[in-house]
């Protein structure tokens, strides 16, 4: 770990100033000299590995009193960015009205990490690609733009099959983001000019030719809240993984349905563990709307969700696995009692 | 009794709590890197990013500018060390590849520089700022990689003596009514003990103290002395607690002598704490293996021919070999046996012992093949093993000292509910999950080695036991304290045990599951010397003294072994008669059949293990049977193991609590070695990829909801004075086969390559 200054931000303005003040123009957020510290479960880890080398840490923990609301209301849900994963997962109303959110959080990481990690930090969690996390590999386009990708033809069992580019196949590792993207969540961003909201689906950027740019956030901008319209009691998060707990998804599906009289009025399908960013399978959703559910439909939906998938040497299995996960998650969502 | 402290059966000791339990759960137990040092410099390693080639140049300016950096040691300015031979060639080292010796790189993650600084943080930061230019060559990563070489193990490795054979395999296999010919593979695995591979070195004049987690303090002491070219008596290794070893700390690693040499030059203590990922390359590991098994049987299931061919990966300079055919050719009665082990050399760090060295990979092959044969014969796999149960070693014809294999199968089968299994594959399910039941045998050689001990008894019964044994988490303090308490008839609370210090009387390596048998036999013998002195003082006539030796207990404290009519001795009277305040005895014990040079070797840090198939007239093994339930998800193909049941017989069980814990840990590790653990190698550059505990998967609690350990009562008077067979390495053997056998039962699919991942399941 390299030396850094440490500052506690006691109000949002101070945090934004401390984070944005020193930033160079066009500097990607991940390379910014000043980085915000919330739960610390990703940042500190990457600093120890020498992957991230900030010179200033701005502790936004003191903002929790304003930014950690868990507020289900009549017309939707608002979640503060500094709410702890464990608190949201354990919230009775979240479990009742948004099971996909509660389960995506509950099935992530370990109890200890969920007690530390915040929602905002969770969606900003960086990839677990071993070649990204090991600085002894020169060739990582995410760390060293233009240096190549060691994972492309390396050990890539955990890597993505959707949203990849010839520059990067690193998987977005989180779970909660799939629930957010499925539920058309809005993300509230606090910056120099105050707060603005945009669809969560626009937050992350697929790697394309700039894998070092992971989100649209600029230095000096912080996620302050998430909001969701309506209730989604018929929703599930299904996660397939190598061990029963404390493990990233090989493939996961966040499904939310609105079923009336056996007909699917609205359907949301998001995929985890298989894509470079939180992934919404809109083509798959389109097949569901207005239909009555059966196993054949589930299969067509699953096929559509992975129509564009591209496997590499060790991760091609994720395509077949992902389809089965989607189909099974749909069955569970259709048959769940609400 | 609680489940954690099973009630003792016949020939079992009391399930007393761990001697070191309170110290460990309160954090008071001091591990090597907890030892205070006077103004230490902190060391951080720089390791190579290539597996083969040369270092052209270091750029150190940036690193040296980090505040607090003292020095950066590379091959260009490192102290010179003397060669150390591989342990299997009469030396101490786990690898002959020495750090900082030249610009040559022979494996990934080789130590190429040591950064010294005033703080750990500064050393680590500076290490991150060291830039290295290499000329890289294309390395050979593993089996089938271009550039590897293969040759028979026999002749390359002096510890691998023979490829066991008997009868005429080829002819018998040819004529067999039922034949099976199959191949299996096991992956690279790393021990990953919780305690990192830390080393602290402090010189006081010409004397060196090393604080390092070691499974063999005498070996390390002598090995470091040899590399430094100093008298072994000048070196002391201290580690009262070891945070897990599993074989990784059995032989000397390259880090210790170089840190000691740098500390001497710096004239200051040095503390080294390497990272988790560095542990993958600066210590040893279990290399990947391949197996070809051929079995011939009669239609009624009698084995007539067995051949086991194994291949293992080792490094370029060192012919390490685990060679498990010595066990797999002896487990079942079969008149015609053949075997061959070969070593494939690649550009890798040298592998080494990993619990349980040969049996984990080799029995995976044999116990999987047995299950395949049972399916071919349409026979219950337990019955197939019963039909082929042996009373004598099929290779040499020697009788087993005791063998409770089938009793273990019967007990475990009953507890597991094996009779509920419908034999047809894919015939059992529960909702989304296909269910499979599988079983396998386990065995592990019973081994002993020479050991010394010193015991001091005071008038008030307080007892001090000194022995350079090792507490690697197994319960060594506890069973040694119990042994002394029982033998002297003093209460357990009065016994203090001192271990993990090479200034104490020598004990063997804590490896090969020999520790309890060896150290407790030595402690027993020395306690008897004390009893003899005391009895003799009160009853000077020899015959009386001899008679008195038969009784148990020399103090009024109750003794568990005391029988009615035992004569007790008044300890205070005995001390008065002797006219002493303290009675202290030192003794050296060696097992029957130990070589002539045993005691000299013991003091020189070289182990002379005897036992297993190498006993003169008998063969000694511990046995067990393991049953598992596997569930395979129809949709995700996830594989889970809700139940593990094992029954084991290992002679005298010294402490059912610590023994159960060992066996339970073994079952869990056995499951893990089948379903989770594998070190992935990037074949392009021969580097380990998942070198951390997030990506090298080990089980979490949710993966092992049900583990049941059954200990059978077994008496064996032929092995050692204690009557104990080692069991630390017993339970994680065969589990991998039981898992794959259960997967076959659940899915109809036979998996012959570990680990089993969900993508290997086709439904």
Res B539: pLDDT:
77
Contact B437, B418 (CB under 8 A): yes
Which residue does chain B place closest to A135, by CA atoms?
A: B128
Query: What phi, psi does B184 have (nearest 5°)?
Result: -135, 160
C-alpha to C-alpha distance for B433 and B428, rounded to whole angstroms: 9
For residue A244, what are the contacts with CB-CB under 8 A and spacing of at least 6? B640, B700, B702, B703
**Which of B512-523 are b and which e, b meaning 16 or more Cβ less than 10 Å from the residue's Cβ?**
bbbbbbbbbbbb
Which residue does chain A place closest to B701, by CA atoms?
A: A245
A317·B759 Cβ contact <8 A: yes
Query: In the structure encoding, which two tokens stand for residue A196, read together?
Result: 């603005």
C-alpha to C-alpha distance for B378 and B178, rounded to whole angstroms: 11
Quick check: is A147 in a domain? no
**Which of B648-667 are b and which e, b meaning 16 or more Cβ less than 10 Å from the residue's Cβ?**
bbbbbbbbbbbbbbbbbbbb
Quick check: is A9 in a domain? yes
For residue A55, what are the contacts with CB-CB under 8 A and spacing of at least 6? A2, A3, A4, A5, A33, A34
How many CB atoms are located within 10 Å of the residue B45 CB? 26
Using CB atoms, which residue from B125, B691, B700 is nearest to A243? B700
Looking only at the bridges linking them, the beta strands covering B53-59 and B131-136 are antiparallel
**DSSP string across A117-141:** -BHHHHHTPPP--HHHH-TT---BT
* Chain A neighbors of B684, CB-CB under 8 A: 153-154
Res B557: pLDDT:
42
Number of domains in chain A: 2
Among B108, B113, B432, B682, which would you mutate to test the A interface (most chain A Cβ atoms within 10 Å of its Cβ)?
Answer: B682
* Chain A neighbors of B120, CB-CB under 8 A: none
DSSP H helices in B188-322: 217-228, 255-266, 276-282
Min Cα separation A327/chain B (Å): 9
Query: What phi, psi does B704 have (nearest 5°)?
Result: -130, 65
A244·B680 Cβ contact <8 A: no
Contact B81, B257 (CB under 8 A): yes
The interaxial angle of helices B359-377 and B735-747, nearest 10 deg, is 30
Looking only at the bridges linking them, the beta strands covering B447-448 and B207-211 are unpaired
Q: Tell me the residue length of chain A.
A: 338
The interaxial angle of helices B515-538 and B571-578, nearest 10 deg, is 70
Residue A144, CA distances (Å) to A124, A137, B184 in order: 19, 10, 41
Q: Write out the E strands in B485-531.
A: 495-498
Query: In the structure encoding, which two tokens stand for residue B447, read together?
Result: 């081994």
Query: In the structure encoding, which two tokens stand for residue B23, read together?
Result: 């110290």
Q: Tell me the residue length of chain B.
A: 763
C-alpha to C-alpha distance for B246 and B354, rounded to whole angstroms: 6
C-alpha to C-alpha distance for B43 and B266, rounded to whole angstroms: 12
Using CB atoms, which residue from A1, A137, A325 is nearest to B124? A1
Min Cα separation A168/chain B (Å): 17
* Chain B neighbors of A110, CB-CB under 8 A: 700
Contact B757, A242 (CB under 8 A): yes
Using CB atoms, which residue from B636, B637, B703 is nearest to A243? B703
Query: What phi, psi does B589 have (nearest 5°)?
Result: -115, 140
Which residue does chain A place closest to B755, by CA atoms?
A: A242
Res B550: pLDDT:
52
Using CB atoms, which residue from A3, A154, A247 is nearest to B684? A154
Using CB atoms, which residue from A3, A137, A321 is nearest to B758? A321
For position A273, which CATH number holds?
Answer: 3.30.390.50
Q: What's the helix, strand, coil split of chain B in %, to 5?
A: 30, 25, 45
* Chain B neighbors of A131, CB-CB under 8 A: 689
User: Quick check: A154 contacting B, CB < 8 Å?
Assistant: yes
Query: In the structure encoding, which two tokens stand for residue B79, read together?
Result: 């102290």
For position A37, which CATH number holds?
Answer: 3.30.43.10
C-alpha to C-alpha distance for A55 and B521, rounded to whole angstroms: 60
Quick check: is A230 in a domain? no
Average pLDDT, chain A: 96
Domain boundary pick from A19, A42, A62: A62
Query: What is the H or E stretch that residue A115 is in?
Result: helix A111-116
User: Quick check: A332 contacting B, CB < 8 Å?
Assistant: no
pLDDT at residue A336 greater than cutoff 60:
yes
A247·B703 Cβ contact <8 A: no
Three-state DSSP at A270 gives: strand
Among B668, B689, B706, B763, which would you mutate to test the A interface (most chain A Cβ atoms within 10 Å of its Cβ)?
Answer: B689
B690·A130 Cβ contact <8 A: yes
Scanning A226-265 for CB atoms below 8 A from B yields: 238, 240-247, 250-251
Dihedral angle, C-alpha A291, A296, A301, A305, nearest 10 °: 180
Across-strand partners of A194? A191
A325·B636 Cβ contact <8 A: yes
Min Cα separation B371/chain A (Å): 25
A244·B758 Cβ contact <8 A: no
Contact B507, B469 (CB under 8 A): yes
* Chain B neighbors of A150, CB-CB under 8 A: 682
Sheet of B289-297, strands arranged across = B149-152, B337-346, B303-315, B289-297, B178-186
Q: Write out the E strands in B590-713.
A: 610-611, 621-633, 639-649, 681-682, 687-688, 706-711
Query: In the structure encoding, which two tokens stand for residue B451, read together?
Result: 């050991």
Interface residues of chain B, partner chain A, Cβ below 8 Å: 49, 121, 124-125, 128, 277, 432, 633, 635-638, 640, 675-676, 680-682, 684, 689-691, 694-695, 697, 699-703, 757-759
**Radius of gyration of chain B measured on its C-alpha atoms:** 27
Quick check: is A174 in a domain? no
Contact B30, B241 (CB under 8 A): yes
Min Cα separation A1/chain B (Å): 6
The interaxial angle of helices B476-488 and B515-538, nearest 10 deg, is 20
Among A244, A298, A319, A333, which would you mutate to test the B interface (most chain B Cβ atoms within 10 Å of its Cβ)?
Answer: A244
Domain boundary pick from A62, A78, A111: A62
Which residue does chain A place closest to B685, by CA atoms?
A: A154
Which residue does chain A place closest to B63, by CA atoms?
A: A2
Domain boundary pick from A62, A95, A111: A62
Rounded to an integer, what is the distance from CA B324 to the centroid of its chain? 14
C-alpha to C-alpha distance for A292 and A260, rounded to whole angstroms: 10
Please, which contacts does A79-83 make with residues 24 or more away whose CB atoms are closer than 8 Å? Answer: A79/A119, A79/A225, A79/A226, A79/A227, A79/A228, A80/A119, A80/A224, A80/A225, A81/A38, A81/A118, A81/A119, A81/A120, A81/A188, A81/A222, A81/A223, A81/A224, A81/A225, A81/A226, A82/A38, A82/A118, A82/A119, A82/A120, A83/A118, A83/A119
CA nearest neighbour of B264 among B238, B291, B227: B227
Quick check: is A83 in a domain? no
pLDDT at residue A22 greater than cutoff 50:
yes
Interface contacts A/B by beta carbons within 8 Å: 78
CA nearest neighbour of A169 among A276, A304, A245: A276
Mean pLDDT, residues A225-249 taken together: 98
Quick check: is A133 in a domain? no
Residue A25, CA distances (Å) to A31, A32, B199 in order: 12, 10, 46
DSSP 8-class letter at A197: E
Which residue does chain A place closest to B50, by CA atoms?
A: A136
C-alpha to C-alpha distance for B338 and B340, rounded to whole angstroms: 7
Which residue does chain A place closest to B128, by CA atoms?
A: A50
Looking only at the bridges linking them, the beta strands covering B53-59 and B104-105 are antiparallel
B694·A128 Cβ contact <8 A: yes
C-alpha to C-alpha distance for A288 and A266, rounded to whole angstroms: 8
Q: Which domain holds residue A55?
A: 5-62
Using CB atoms, which residue from A150, A244, A321 is nearest to B759? A321
Three-state DSSP at B89 gives: helix
B757·A135 Cβ contact <8 A: no
Residue B687, CA distances (Å) to A138, B60, B140, B608, B723 in order: 14, 24, 10, 35, 45
Min Cα separation B148/chain A (Å): 20
CA nearest neighbour of B306 among B175, B172, B445: B172
Which residue does chain A place closest to B672, by CA atoms?
A: A243
Res B570: pLDDT:
79
Res B561: pLDDT:
45
Three-state DSSP at B760 gives: helix
Using CB atoms, which residue from A50, A134, A324 is nearest to B636? A324
B125·A1 Cβ contact <8 A: yes
User: Quick check: A157 contacting B, CB < 8 Å?
Assistant: yes
B124·A327 Cβ contact <8 A: no
- Positions in chain B whose pLDDT score sits under 70: 1-2, 542-568
Ordered domains of chain B (ranges, CATH): 1-26+400-446+620-763 (3.30.365.10), 32-139+207-281 (3.90.1170.50), 449-608 (3.30.365.10)
């Amino acid at each position: 770990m390299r030396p850094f200054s440490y500052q506690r931000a006691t109000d949002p303005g101070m945090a934004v100033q401390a984070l944005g003040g020193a930033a160079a123009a066009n500097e990607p957020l991940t390379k910014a000299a000043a980085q915000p510290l919330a739960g610390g479960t990703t940042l500190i880890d990457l600093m120890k590995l020498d992957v991230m080398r900030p010179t200033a840490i701005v502790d936004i923990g003191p903002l929790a009193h304003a930014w950690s609301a868990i507020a289900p209301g009549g017309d939707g849900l608002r979640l503060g960015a500094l709410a702890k994963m464990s608190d949201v997962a354990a919230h009775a109303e979240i479990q009742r009205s948004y099971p996909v959110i509660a389960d995506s959080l509950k099935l992530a990481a370990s109890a200890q990490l969920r007690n530390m990690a915040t929602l905002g930090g969770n969606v900003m969690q960086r990839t677990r690609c071993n070649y990204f996390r090991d600085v002894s590999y020169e060739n990582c386009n995410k760390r060293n733009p233009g240096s190549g990708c060691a994972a492309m033809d390396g050990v890539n069992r955990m890597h993505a099959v959707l949203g990849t580019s010839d520059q990067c196949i690193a998987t977005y590792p989180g779970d909660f983001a799939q629930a957010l993207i499925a539920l058309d969540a809005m993300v509230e961003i606090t910056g120099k000019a105050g707060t603005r909201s945009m669809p969560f689906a626009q937050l992350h950027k697929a790697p394309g030719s700039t894998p070092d740019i992971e989100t649209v956030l600029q230095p000096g901008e912080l996620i302050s809240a998430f909001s969701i319209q309506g209730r989604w009691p018929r929703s599930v998060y299904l996660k397939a993984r190598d061990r029963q707990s404390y493990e990233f998804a090989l493939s996961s599906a966040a499904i939310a349905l609105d079923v009336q009289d056996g007909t699917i009025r609205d359907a949301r399908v998001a995929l985890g563990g298989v894509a470079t960013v939180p992934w919404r399978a809109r083509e798959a959703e389109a097949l569901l709307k207005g239909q009555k559910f059966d196993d054949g439909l589930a299969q067509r939906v699953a096929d559509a969700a992975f129509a564009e998938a591209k496997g590499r040497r060790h991760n091609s299995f994720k395509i077949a696995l992902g389809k089965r996960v989607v189909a099974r998650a749909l069955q569970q969502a259709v048959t769940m009692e609400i | 009794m609680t489940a954690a402290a099973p009630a003792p059966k016949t020939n079992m000791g009391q399930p007393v709590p761990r001697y070191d339990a309170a110290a460990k759960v309160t954090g008071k137990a001091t591990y090597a890197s907890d030892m205070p040092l006077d103004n230490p410099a902190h060391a951080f390693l720089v390791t190579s990013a290539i597996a083969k080639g040369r270092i052209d140049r270091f750029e150190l300016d940036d690193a040296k500018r980090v505040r607090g950096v003292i020095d950066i040691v590379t091959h260009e300015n490192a102290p010179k060390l003397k060669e150390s031979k591989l342990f299997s060639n009469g030396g101490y080292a786990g690898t002959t590849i020495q750090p900082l010796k030249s610009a040559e790189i022979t494996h990934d993650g080789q130590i190429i520089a040591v950064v010294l600084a005033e703080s750990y943080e500064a050393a680590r930061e500076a290490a991150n700022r060291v830039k290295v230019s290499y000329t890289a060559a294309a390395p050979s990563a593993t089996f089938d990689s271009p550039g590897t070489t293969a040759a028979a193990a026999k002749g390359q490795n002096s510890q691998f003596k023979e490829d066991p054979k008997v009868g005429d395999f080829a002819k018998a296999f040819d004529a067999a009514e039922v034949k099976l010919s199959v191949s299996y593979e096991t992956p690279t695995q790393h021990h990953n003990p919780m305690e990192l591979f830390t080393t602290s070195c402090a010189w006081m004049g010409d004397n060196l103290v090393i604080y390092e987690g070691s499974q063999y303090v005498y070996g390390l002491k002598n090995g470091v002395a040899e590399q430094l070219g100093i008298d072994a008596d000048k070196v002391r290794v201290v580690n009262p607690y070891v945070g897990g070893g599993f074989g990784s700390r059995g032989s000397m690693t390259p880090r210790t002598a170089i840190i000691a040499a740098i500390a001497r030059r710096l004239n200051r203590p040095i503390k080294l704490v390497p990272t988790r990922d560095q542990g993958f390359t600066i210590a040893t590991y279990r290399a990947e293996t391949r197996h070809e098994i051929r079995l011939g049987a009669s239609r009624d299931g009698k084995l007539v021919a067995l051949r086991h061919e194994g291949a293992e990966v080792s490094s370029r300079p060192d012919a390490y070999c685990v060679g498990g055919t010595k066990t797999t050719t002896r487990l079942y009665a079969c008149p015609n046996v053949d075997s061959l082990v070969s070593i494939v050399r690649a550009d890798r760090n040298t592998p080494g012992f990993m619990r349980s060295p040969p049996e984990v990979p080799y029995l995976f092959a044999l116990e999987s093949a047995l299950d395949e044969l049972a399916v071919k014969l349409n026979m219950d796999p337990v019955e197939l093993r019963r039909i082929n149960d042996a009373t004598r070693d099929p290779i040499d014809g020697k009788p087993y000292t005791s063998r409770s294999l089938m009793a273990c199968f019967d007990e475990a089968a009953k507890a597991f509910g094996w009779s509920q299994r419908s034999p047809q594959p894919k015939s059992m399910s529960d909702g989304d999950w296909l269910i499979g039941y599988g079983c396998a045998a386990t065995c592990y050689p019973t081994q002993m080695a020479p050991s010394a001990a010193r015991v001091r008894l005071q008038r008030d019964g307080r007892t001090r036991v000194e022995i350079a044994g090792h507490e690697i988490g197994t319960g060594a303090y506890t069973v040694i304290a119990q042994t002394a308490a029982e033998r002297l008839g003093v209460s357990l609370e009065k016994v203090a045990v001192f271990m993990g210090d090479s200034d104490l009387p020598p004990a063997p390596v804590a490896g090969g599951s020999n520790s309890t048998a060896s150290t407790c036999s030595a402690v027993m013998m020395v306690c008897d010397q004390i009893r003899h002195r005391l009895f003799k003082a009160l009853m000077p006539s020899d015959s009386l003294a001899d008679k008195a030796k038969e009784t148990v207990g020399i103090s009024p404290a109750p003794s568990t072994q005391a029988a009615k009519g035992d004569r007790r001795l008044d300890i205070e009277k005995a001390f008065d008669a002797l006219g002493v305040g303290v009675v202290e005895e030192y003794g050296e014990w060696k097992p029957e059949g130990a070589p002539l040079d045993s005691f000299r070797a013991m003091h020189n840090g070289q182990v002379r293990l005897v036992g297993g198939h190498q006993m003169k007239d008998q063969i000694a093994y511990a046995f067990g049977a393991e049953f598992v339930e596997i569930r395979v998800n129809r949709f995700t193909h996830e594989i889970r193991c809700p139940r593990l049941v094992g029954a084991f017989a290992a002679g005298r069980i010294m402490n059912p609590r610590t023994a159960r814990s060992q066996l339970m840990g073994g079952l869990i590790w056995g499951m893990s070695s089948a379903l989770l653990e594998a070190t992935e190698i990037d074949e392009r550059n021969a580097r380990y990829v998942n070198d951390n505990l997030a990506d090298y998967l080990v089980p979490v609690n949710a993966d092992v909801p049900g583990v049941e350990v059954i200990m059978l009562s077994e008496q064996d008077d032929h092995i050692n004075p204690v009557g104990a067979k080692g069991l630390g390495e017993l339970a994680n053997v065969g589990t991998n086969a039981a898992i794959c056998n259960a997967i076959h039962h659940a899915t109809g699919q036979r998996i012959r390559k570990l680990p089993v991942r969900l993508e290997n399941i086709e439904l």
